[in-house]
Amino acid sequence: MWPFRWELDGQVSREVWQKAGAAGLLGVCTSEEDGGVGGDILTSSIVWDEQGYAGVNGVGWALHSDIVMPYIAHYGTKEQKEKFLPAMTAGNKIGAIAMTEPGAGSDLQGIRTNAKKEGSGWVLNGSKVFITNGTMCDVCIVVAITNPEAKSAAHGISLFLVEAGMEGFKKGKKLKKLGLKAQDTAELFFEDVKLPASALLGEANKGFMYLMTELPQERLIVAGVGTSASEWMFEITRDYVIQRKAFGRTISSLQTVQHKLAEMKSEICMMRAFYDQCLLQHQHGKLDNYSVSMVKYLASDLQNKIADQCLQLHGGWGYMWEYPIARAFVDARVQPIYAGCNEIMKELIARPIVSAK
């Protein structure tokens, strides 16, 4: 009954995070020197895949380990790494990243949250929304404008490490979502939060460059989760149609059902091959924005297509919340939206196609 308890709570327990840390499931691709497990992105991807195969989407481990922690590992000072990374690997500190605002989603240059220099430190004001791990986070990377006079917004953005308990940092109520009901998602508010100079992550006004460098991995994770979820939905649907009887026989004996299974299996296998290729390219530092935009768009679209078709094969039972396919159906819907909506992915794919050579 644990998925239902977490869904009602709108989050998983801290005990789950600490158990994940003890099992070596967090900070997998962070180096041992920095306090991580010391694996690589291929090893880390096993955690995403197994989560997908288990149909467990309430834990924000991938964001914590493979999105938030790399920012600190790549751009943090020695002191910042020592302060956060070992505790995050152990599951004792939970990480979040706050980019999206009520008026700025895929357009990161449209953010309004700002940090003004005050003495040696900064004063942070603004708000963020749809923040995964937002309620439970102990440390949050906040994207803010630090130079409103820059030649473009991209040249005036910085990243800050904001810790829970700082005066003026307030966490709003957990948001009630269509899906991913056990995943902690919240609004965050910053009212004259005084940040020490040590809260700046990397260099001032280089935050947008850091974001563009790290976003491909985030999009690859979305593709990986989507691919494994499609495989899992297919398997539970195959099991269902093999045992479900109608008209005096199992529905898997119907040609229309067999053909639908064949179509889904073929599409999923093609998606797995493309995703695995992109994962290997990323492992060797050769994954380009063009390819990662394609794999994120295709995998998340396919996940929704497979969810729809698998639910249909479950009939009326697929519409019942206690059936995993019902939760998988609503959980899939956000995949084409976050990490850059799929419409933006198509823009990125199209640019080199139509650009003059």
Q: Where are the beta strands (DSSP E) in the chain?
A: 95-98, 114-118, 121-132, 139-145, 157-163, 169-174, 185-195, 200-201, 245-246, 249-250
| Of 42, 199, 51, residue with least CA distance to 117 | 199
Note if 218 is an active site residue: yes
Rounded to 5°, the CA angle 127-131-133 comes to 130
Cα 193 to Cα 117, 127, 170, 181, 199: the distances in Å are 12, 12, 10, 30, 11
Q: Is 214 helix (H, G, I), strand (E, B) or coil?
A: helix
Catalytic residue among 101, 187, 218, 231: 218
CB 27 within 8 A of CB 43: no
DSSP one-letter code for 101: B
Nearest CA among 170, 304, 298 for reference residue 230: 304
Query: Which are the catalytic amino acids?
Result: 218
